[in-house]
Structure 1
Amino acid sequence: MSTPALQVRAISPAPDAETALRVEGLEKRYGDRVIVGGLSFQIARGECYGLLGPNGAGKTTTLRAVLGLTPIDGGVIRLLGYDMPGQARRARARVGVVPQIDSLDPDFTVEENLLVFGRYFGLRDAEIRRRIPGLLDFASLVSKRKARINELSGGMKRRLTLARALVNDPELIVMDEPTTGLDPQARHLIWERLKALLAQGKTILLTTHFMDEAERLCDRLGVIDHGRMIAEGAPQELIARHLEPEVVEVYGEDALGWLERHRAGLPGRVEVSGATIYCYTSDPAPVLDSLRQGGRLRYLHRPANLEDLFLRIAGRDLREGA
């Protein structure tokens, strides 16, 4: 299926011409509680940058600070050449936002939601109406143009929220968990659309709890915890830097007994989570040989991935609020 193309206007040169976002030493506290503690990162124009971290790590607070929606206690934020929060209004005119929870107006149709939202940016109705067909095509919602919000599925609402974020033809799109709650088909369609935006030169900053989403979309990742950067780099680079290359997952009735009998001969690192054993290794042969000796064990041999990285850095324990 071909991906509809949106017309993209030329971006005029501005300060920090190669950098869409620069964050230096960002600090945010609520009383004695440090939410973000000295966070620094930057995003090049045309790049997709992902912020990963467990619940409560400071991701959403960082996004709100970047947009000038949350006052900060220290640091520097420069968004599309504008100092934040002092020049937030001018910067946000060139930014699209996809919030974690859809905030579509149920009293309006799909088309009316786009029209009203475009007015917030000072766009004339004629200009917005000219853009609407391309936005609906991009979101695969042409047939739902006159539908009201309560007639849409969850995936349709999410695609409309993405289309709405593009009504002002933004240079940078900020997305907070853009595919949470979607079925696999809807998620893959959103991914296609985001890849098309990147191909057109847009810049994307996103948070996500889906590691396959981050691995597919992001040029670089920043992993934060307790408001601090703990790892940063390209997905495959981070995996190679922090993990053994191969993983054998072992599960079944006697998994823990198998581990007790064979642990001394297993190469690499072993982690236990519930009734599942994770063997991280550069040499999986001894692990696989012991598993082939029979018994009622099941196992999966695979390359290390971003979820393994996340669990190693952030831990396997469930955080409060997760």
Structure 2
Amino acid sequence: MKFAHVFRKASGDSAWDCHFLADRWDGKPWMEDHAESWVGQVVDGRVFTLLGQVGWLTSLWRSPSGAVYVSEGSARRGGVHINRAEDPLRPAWEFHALPCVVAGIWGLDDRFVLAWGPHSRKREEAFFRWDGQQWLELPSPGDVVAVHGLAQDLVYAVGGEGLISRWDGTQWHQAPSFTEAVMTAVHVVSEDEMYACSDAGVMEGSLYGWSEVAESPGMLMSIVKHQKQVWVAGGTYGLFNLHGNQLDEAEPRMKTMSLDARQRLVLATDTALADTEDGKQFRSIPIAEFIARTQDVPKLW
């Protein structure tokens, strides 16, 4: 069988030192029971596969310790996979079931990891926190798509119908967004500087309010600030820089699905994992490296 492959998410210090999500399927219109989600790790530029399964792995986040947290929101179950093993040849996965179709995951450290999505037992949204020992259910601010923050009392969630909400460590505070757009990503730089993106454009905010600063050509996927430059992932529309009130296409053109800003700016594009330190010189690991790692693995469905 001839497979189709794509990178979807990367999280880590660089493309040479990260974890990633990738998909493998039969190349036909995507169906969960005819597709695989894979978790991989890059160590010193070498690609390893840690987990492959049928069942939708929705997102992943790598903690500063190197542990990786992977959310699952498949038709058969919802929960979070955790791997703390350092050796990519010997992953040690734990699966933590949650009463939730887990749509996303993000954290500050191994004692503050957040997971969210539709509740599987109630007609409402669910939101959970991992404190290093157990999952605690928190109130949900609504239809959450993405979360980011700087401290346990400075966390923002964005999502459907223009949702922007701040967690102060005890409760959520809704922020007027003046839009019904689906907010897809948020990045908190400080109390006075934050960014969010949507299917309509880019917003800039602070503790005191939010406003739209630029329109977009279509659905935006991710937004970060790295080395004084705001970067926006536009999926099939490409990669952009925010300059004032407009988005300028960045070079080289890449169909960017996700961004992570740590030591280097890390990008997951449809065909490569890439990074840059200065925003000008990029290096990349082609998806052929992932394909080579899985080519002898028979289909899992």
TM-score by length of 2: 0.31
Q: Which has the higher helix share?
A: 1
Point out the structure with max Rg over C-alpha.
Answer: 1
Q: Which has the higher strand share?
A: 2
TM-score by length of 1: 0.30
